[in-house]
Amino acid sequence: MEKKLQLQKFVVFTAVLLFSALSIPPAVSAGSVQLNYANFPPAPTFPCVQMERWKGEVEKRTAGKVSVNTFPGGTLLDAKNMMDGVISGQADIGCLCMAYQPGRFVLTNATSLPLGISSAKIGSLVLWDLYNKYQPESFKKVKVLTMFTTAPANIMSKTAVKTLADIKGLDLRASGGAAQILKAWGANQVGMPMSETPEALQKGVVQGLFSSLEVMKDLKFAEICKYITITDTVIYPFAVVMNMDRWNALPDDVKKIMDELGPEQAHWTGEYMDNHVMESVAWSRQKQGVEIIQLSAEEKGKWDALLQPITDKWIADAKAQGFAAESIVKDIKALTGKYSVR
Ligand code: DTR
């Protein structure tokens, strides 16, 4: 009798266990595909804002089939390891600033030449078209999910810069193509990724920086740099890349959604960046007492004249490496014209 009861209890117990196991949704119900997305700068900066927007859109459009875990602030991959870290699969997706490896992304970095791209939106559309036209070798090992650019770069400094004499010998942090520009103006260019800049400014390693102005607010540089000199010079190209095996393993409908999102994300990020620069400048003036310096027409003429040889030098160097350098520059100018009149 006792034994029979025990057996009955066992059967009921097993049945309950089986039933509940079958009715519990699988552990990965948040998304059957989980992707890790690495980014190098801190969360409030624009590369991370666009990352969260992309994550939101992908999760929404795939109805939860894909979930994206984001890693801002270099917690998964830092600025200089981004491309190789994605190629080797340390992260599934990574966001990189091409200027940090100028020799690696020669073709797309040509958008950083002083060619008169006046906004992040125009820059992003130009870059996306340029990439698709030339399909550069440097991105062959990854799937490119989107590309976008910053707004034009300006000088943010602790002391006022109104003339070439003021910038002479000034230690300014900048990356990539901007190095040649600052050198041409006589500054002492100090190269480092944006992620290292707050500390360098605080410690006095540099007296300012050259970049797009949204960082005055996002990284609170306005608390240290009380002057902005408007030069509206170069934009910086960025790419969001995905590990090729992870991409190939995605279901076709997910691939389609991500492909459609590519140009849309470029456009969204460009617009976000342009609007955010305006907010940042207004905040810097109103809340931080930052002075905005406009160079006089005569002074600006002198500054621009010093930049003219830079594009010619890029053409000569890129040609020597086998790039269709003249056509690339011609295309950038034509695309800039096309998107500027919209
Ligand atoms: N101008 C480049 C890229 C850049 C501009 N804003 C941000 C914010 C966060 C990271 C990178 C950038 C630069 O100076 O590094």
**CATH number for the domain including 115?**
3.40.190.170
**Which atom of ligand 1 is found nearest the CA of 46?**
8
**Ligand 1: centre distance to CA 95 (Å):** 12
The predicted pLDDT at position 9 comes to 52
**Ligand 1: centre distance to CA 34 (Å):** 28
Q: Which of 236, 238, 240, 280 to mutate to test the pocket of ligand 1 (most atoms within 8 A of CB)?
A: 236
Entry field: residues in the chain: 342
Whether 255 maps to a domain, the answer reads yes
Give the span between the Cα atoms of 197 and 73, in whole angstroms.
13
Under 8 Å CB-to-CB from 97, ≥6 apart: which residues?
A: 40, 47, 79, 175, 176, 193, 194, 236, 237, 238
The predicted pLDDT at position 213 comes to 98
Whether 310 maps to a domain, the answer reads no
Helix (H) or strand (E) holding 242: strand 237-243
The predicted pLDDT at position 2 comes to 47
At position 59, the amino acid (one-letter code) is E
Give the span between the Cα atoms of 285 and 216, in whole angstroms.
10
Token digits for 175? 């990356």
**Cα Rg of the chain (Å, integer):** 25
Which domain range does residue 67 map to? 33-150+235-276
Residues touching ligand 1 (Cβ under 6 Å) are: 41, 45-47, 97, 99, 150, 153, 175, 194, 211-212, 215, 236
At position 110, the amino acid (one-letter code) is A
Q: What is the pTM of this model?
A: 0.90
**Ligand 1: centre distance to CA 212 (Å):** 7
The predicted pLDDT at position 17 comes to 43
* Closest residue CA from atom 3 of ligand 1: 236
**Ligand 1: centre distance to CA 29 (Å):** 36
Under 8 Å CB-to-CB from 230, ≥6 apart: which residues?
A: 154, 292, 293, 294, 295
* Closest residue CA from atom 12 of ligand 1: 194
Residue 110: phi and psi, rounded to 5, are -65, -20
Helix (H) or strand (E) holding 52: helix 46-61
Whether 161 maps to a domain, the answer reads no
The predicted pLDDT at position 102 comes to 87
Helices and strands: H and E segment counts in the chain: 13, 11
The predicted pLDDT at position 176 comes to 81
Give the span between the Cα atoms of 327 and 149, in whole angstroms.
21
Count CB atoms within 10 A of the CB of residue 129: 19
**Which atom of ligand 1 is found nearest the CA of 97?**
3
At position 316, the amino acid (one-letter code) is A
**Ligand 1: centre distance to CA 19 (Å):** 54
Q: Which of 213, 215, 234, 276 to mutate to test the pocket of ligand 1 (most atoms within 8 A of CB)?
A: 215
* DSSP label of 194: G
Structurally, how many domains does the chain consist of?
A: 1
**Ligand 1: centre distance to CA 41 (Å):** 8
Under 8 Å CB-to-CB from 164, ≥6 apart: which residues?
A: 185, 186, 299, 302, 303
The predicted pLDDT at position 341 comes to 86
* Per-residue pLDDT in tens (0 to 9) along the chain, 342 residues: 444 545 455 444 444 444 444 444 333 344 699 999 999 999 999 999 999 999 999 999 999 999 999 999 999 999 999 999 999 999 999 999 999 998 999 999 999 999 999 999 999 999 999 999 999 999 999 999 999 999 999 999 999 999 999 999 999 999 887 899 999 999 999 999 999 999 999 999 999 999 999 999 999 999 999 999 999 999 999 999 999 999 999 999 999 999 999 999 999 999 999 999 999 999 999 999 999 999 999 999 999 999 989 999 999 999 999 999 999 999 999 999 999 986
Whether 166 maps to a domain, the answer reads no
For tokens 């020597």, the residue is: 320
Whether 194 maps to a domain, the answer reads no
Whether 303 maps to a domain, the answer reads no
The predicted pLDDT at position 36 comes to 98
Whether 69 maps to a domain, the answer reads yes
Whether 294 maps to a domain, the answer reads no
